[in-house]
Structure 1
C-alpha cells in the first residue's frame, strides 16, 4: 500500500523538478497523479 503511494509521490516530484517554474495547473496535475 505505502510502496505504491511512495512510488507515485516520487514520480510526481520528479516531474515537478523538471519544470523551471511551477504553475497552479502543474501542482494540480501532480496531486491528481498521486491520488490515482
Structure 2
C-alpha cells in the first residue's frame, strides 16, 4: 500500500472541494449574462 492511504480524504469531501470553483464560476457567469 502507498504511504498515507489511511488518511485519504473521503470522496464526497474531494468532490465538494472540486465543485466549489465550478459553482462560483457558474454564478459569476450567470451574473455577467444578466448584465
TM-score by length of 1: 0.49
The structure with higher relative contact order (CA 8 Å, sep 6+) is 1
Greater gyration radius: 2
